[in-house]
Amino acid sequence: MPDQTLYERLGGYDALAATAANLLPRVMNDDRLGRFWENRGDDGIAREGQLLIDFLCASCGGPIMYRGRDMVLTHKGMGIDRDDWKCFIKHLIDTLDDLGVGDQEMNDVLSFIQSFEGDIVD
Ligand code: HEM
């Protein structure tokens, strides 16, 4: 189906909402990455979860307007390093595996997320 967007191939809004719901607890409970979410309130975390869904949907060609900050502004000054990034990607692969995403879509999601490394890693 070459005419389908990545959003459609992944299964649309519900599939990307499931991706965010699976990924966020993994990274927040990770020994290495957990520090980035320490002492944050429930509503801040819920808001961020929704923004992550919107960002993923919009970036994959879905009919969603992302109204959050760009990736440089959002993560600037957090001190995210290369090892944090590798750890995040490992969790992302586990999430996509868990949700049964196929090889082609897995590669497409990974290459689009990897394209933000320079914006997010300090
Ligand atoms: C090691 C990797 C990452 C870490 C540690 C991290 C951490 C965080 C934290 C702590 C926030 C909350 C910021 C705040 O409330 O001020 C945030 C927001 C966000 N992150 Fe990340 N992030 C990572 C990678 C990514 C990636 C790969 C994406 C998507 C490609 C992403 C998308 C977002 C979005 C959309 C927001 C919300 C933006 C907003 O509040 O306007 N993050 N991230």
- The residue to mutate among 37, 52, 84, having the most atoms of ligand 1 within 8 angstroms of its beta carbon, is 52
Map residue 61 onto helix, strand or coil.
coil
Asked if the model's pLDDT at residue 2 lies above 90, the reply is no
Residue 56 neighbours by CB under 8 Å, 6+ apart: 16, 19, 20
Q: Residue 76 and residue 121: Cα distance in Å, rounded?
A: 8
pLDDT reported for residue 30: 98
Task: Return the ligand 1 atom nearest residue 66 CA.
Answer: 35
Q: Is the CB of 33 under 6 A from ligand 1?
A: yes
Q: Is the CB of 13 under 6 A from ligand 1?
A: no
pLDDT tens digits for 37-93?
999 999 999 999 999 999 999 999 999 999 999 999 999 999 999 999 999 999 999
| In contact, 75 and 55? CB cutoff 8 Å | no
Mean pLDDT, rounded, of the chain: 96
What is the pLDDT confidence band of residue 3, given thresholds at 50, 70 and 90?
confident
Residue 74 neighbours by CB under 8 Å, 6+ apart: 68
pTM of the model: 0.95
